[in-house]
Amino acid sequence: MANNSSIPSDFNQMMTVARYELLKYLRSRRLLGLFALEFLMIALIMIVPPALGRDYPEDPAEFSKVFIQWVWFLIVIGVTLLASDSLVSEFQSRTGYLLFPNPIKKRIIFAGKFLASVAIIFVALSIFYGISSILVFAVDGGLSNLTASSFGLALLFGIAATSVAYLVSSVMKGSTGALVMTFALFLLIFSIVDGILTFAKVKPNFSISFAAGAIEYIMETPYPTDFIRQIPIGNDVLEIAYYYPEVTTAVIVAIVYIIAALAAAMVIFSRREMAA
């Protein structure tokens, strides 16, 4: 008879899964690629202005924004490389035949993997904000308090984007498809929808890519507000809408994406069986 006292608790099992998932990331070239991209972005931001004969912004908030405007792109690349195939790889590589028969619940496996993915995204964001803040402080002699608010929003949207990537991973059949779908969803599909709705003068508050704009706009004082620009063309007037996500709404949108995507991904992953 099995001794239940010898079976690790759900929490310990989750942490074991997270630890091995982190080890997989640390041995992966994808993580090295993500860090290389971070350093390349920072290097270009620091090199290009003086190379063109331009000075760095003297306002710490404005200078930090030059870095922070790339944070959403960094999050998308990070979740695409490190989270989008976390679930589907168990089915495609047949490692699920070894993992699933163990006395561990699928939801615990899911939670451990998700915890590891979020942790590695947090590390990537912390490095980017840390290095960029040091450079801003070294150049301008100060740092804006708004940087901390932007960092908090970046972490929140990092969790939201990882949740959506896990939902994609739970329904796809292969790693390549999951990577392509996640990248296209964030950088193409959501962006196209945002553009079409903005052109139709409908504010896309529901869009995660639109709401993620708060990561950058929170660095502006005062915070930008929506406006309609009118351009006379002959006897007609062309109206172009400029929309900005409100911070409170952006936070709510991120939380809704986290809850909805994680719940759906958990249900699909728990019910999915290994194909013969």
Q: What DSSP assignment string belongs to the chain?
A: ---GGGSPPHHHHHHHHHHHHHHHHHT-HHHHHHHHHHHHHHHHHHHHHHHTT-PPPSSHHHHHHHHHTTHHHHHHHHHHHHTTTTTHHHHHSSTHHHHTTSSS-HHHHHHHHHHHHHHHHHHHHHHHHHHHHHHHHHHHS---THHHHHHHHHHHHHHHHHHHHHHHHHH-SSHHHHHHHHHHIIIIIHHHHHHHHHHTT---TT-HHHHTTHHHHTTSSSPP--EEEEEEETTEEEEEEE----HHHHHHHHHHHHHHHHHHHHHHHHH-----
- Give the confidence band of 1 by pLDDT, cuts at 50, 70, 90: very low
What's the Cα-to-Cα distance from 202 to each of 214, 218, 244, 246, rounded to whole Å?
A: 18, 22, 12, 15
Please list, residue by residue across 233-254, b when 16 or more beta carbons sit within 10 angstroms of its beta carbon and e when fewer do.
Answer: eeeeeeeeeebbbbbeebbebb
pTM score, whole prediction: 0.91
- Give the confidence band of 185 by pLDDT, cuts at 50, 70, 90: very high
Q: Is the pLDDT of residue 98 over 90?
A: no
**230 φ/ψ angles, rounded to the nearest 5 degrees:** -105, 125
Residue 174's pLDDT is 87
First to last CA, the chain: 31
Largest CA distance in the chain: 87
Dump pLDDT digits (tens) for 115-170.
Answer: 999 999 999 999 999 999 999 999 999 999 999 999 999 999 999 999 999 999 99
Mean pLDDT score of the chain: 91
